[in-house]
Structure 1
Amino acid sequence: MNPALRILMLLLPLWVGSALANKADQDKPLVINADKVDVDDVKQSYQLNGDVLLIKGSMIAKGDKGSILVDPQGYQNIDLKGKLESPATLRQRREGLADEFMQGIGRDVFYDDKKEQVILTGNATIKRLLNMQMLDQLQGWQIEYEDIKESYKVRPQKVDTKAQPQSRAILAPRKKVVLN
């Protein structure tokens, strides 16, 4: 095997891993602000109503109401619902570059802490920002973003099969890797 290729294969996991969600966020407490919070310690579930604001490290999520379910390993599944006039939002700094963020908005926002997955539904938009400048933007009825795999899935609303797809993506150019 080519020595340069061997070195690249050894370094590739480090390069790919540097772009994941901020790992320090997983060890941070989840701060919950809402008009009403109902806690069920036995089921490890939380029901949130009215002007919900969640902060966990660099992650900030907002919605009108929501729920949090904590699995036995301590991972949190956050489900936020917005209103027509004020959709649910989620913003999180990514690991690696200091000022790189993922920012999403939709009628509903679901965040799986274990999978590092965000699902936005209902006229959804997700942006990847660097120094507050947009690099990537995706729009559709539903957007799934998996930070570990760095993959996006954009789906149109399944109402009229004859209608044109309502998904759109704007992607910034990626740096090319040159092998000698």
Structure 2
Amino acid sequence: MTSKFITCLLLTALAGAAGVAHAERADRDKPMNIESDALRHDELTQTSVFTGNVVMTKGTIVLRGAQLDVRQDAQGYQHGVVKAEAGKRAYFRQKRDTAPGAPDEVVEGEGEIIEYNGKTDDVKLIRRGQLRRYTGGKLSDDIMGSVITYNNLTDVFTVDGEKRTNEPSSAPAGSGGRVRAILAPKAAPSASPSAPVPAQPLQPSGNLNLQGK
């Protein structure tokens, strides 16, 4: 059946108002701390391969998987690619900054491959990607797709659906798949000046393509 494309234009203001939550700004400048069962390092190419129960922390960022490839570019930025064991998914977690008095927020995600770009501060969840936001320990947003890219600095995310198995290889990724999202409504701020300002949910970039049959 020919796919029909439904485009939902979600217009959201970029984070700039008081009380809006952001990812921890200091994480980008923190060193990587990595634990694993084995390590192979190449000083010439500035690359390291960690294997076996890998756990990486960078400030409040946590990455876990079966293998982590780390490289450092000429500008000194660190880049990491985490791969999961067969049939499993790698894991990502980061705390978000919140306004004083607002509940704690955490963003976490999973994917068969997770890429971290230290220069742009992006996290990409590849294959069976899922991104969740917890507010005060309760699930607020839950986004699923083939590829999810989340920017730690702006809290903007993009989602691509999966390609159908019977589509030609030339078809673009996500042309026949489906993006699933559960987004919590934004609570209206209280008139009381002493009440905490609610945190803003994760923000989709420009437009989000929801593709159905």
Query: TM-score category by the smaller chain?
Result: 0.7 to 0.9
Q: 1:16-165 maps to which residues of 2 (within 5 A)?
A: 19-97=21-99, 99-159=104-164, 160-161=166-167, 165=177
Task: Report sequence identity in percent.
Answer: 28
TM-superposed deviation, 1:156:
1.7
Question: Which segment is superposed worse, 23-32 or 131-140?
Answer: 23-32
Q: Specify the code of the residue in structure 2 equivalent to 1:28.
A: K
Q: Could you list the runs of 5+ residues in structure 2 that have no partner in the other structure?
A: 1-14, 169-174, 190-213
> How far apart in 1 are the matches of 2:28 and 2:17?
19
Taking structure 1 as reference, are residues 75 and 50 closer, same or farther at Cα in structure 2, changes over 3 Å only?
same
Whether contact under 8 Å (2:25, 2:153) holds in the other structure is: no
Residue 168 (1) aligns with residue 180 (2)? yes
For the 8 Å contact 1:155–1:167, the answer to whether it is kept is yes
Aligned pairs, number:
165
Q: Distance in 1 between matches of 2:179 and 2:124?
A: 15
Q: TM-score, normalised by structure 2?
A: 0.68
Greater share of helix residues, 1 or 2?
Answer: 1
TM-superposed deviation, 1:175: 4.6
Hey, what's the Cα distance between the residues in 2 that align with 1:50 and 1:124?
A: 22
Q: Which has the higher contact order (CA 8 A, sep 6+)?
A: 2
Partner amino acid for 1:114?
A: K
Q: Which amino acid aligns with 1:40?
A: D
CA RMSD across the alignment: 2.4
Which residues of structure 1 form unaligned runs of 5+?
1-11
User: Contact 1:21–1:116 (CA<8 Å) still a contact in 2?
Assistant: no
1:111 Cα offset (Å)? 1.1
Large movers: runs of 4+ above 3 Å: 12-16, 159-164
Matched residue SS, 1:94: strand
2:163–2:176: 8 Å Cα contact kept in structure 1? no
CA offsets 1:40-72 (integer angstroms, 9 cap, x no match): 233221111111110112111101112011122
Instruction: Specify the code of the residue in structure 1 equivalent to 2:44.
Output: V
**What is the TM-score with the length of structure 1 in the denominator?**
0.80
Closer/same/farther in 2, CA of residues 106 and 65 from structure 1, 3 Å limit: same
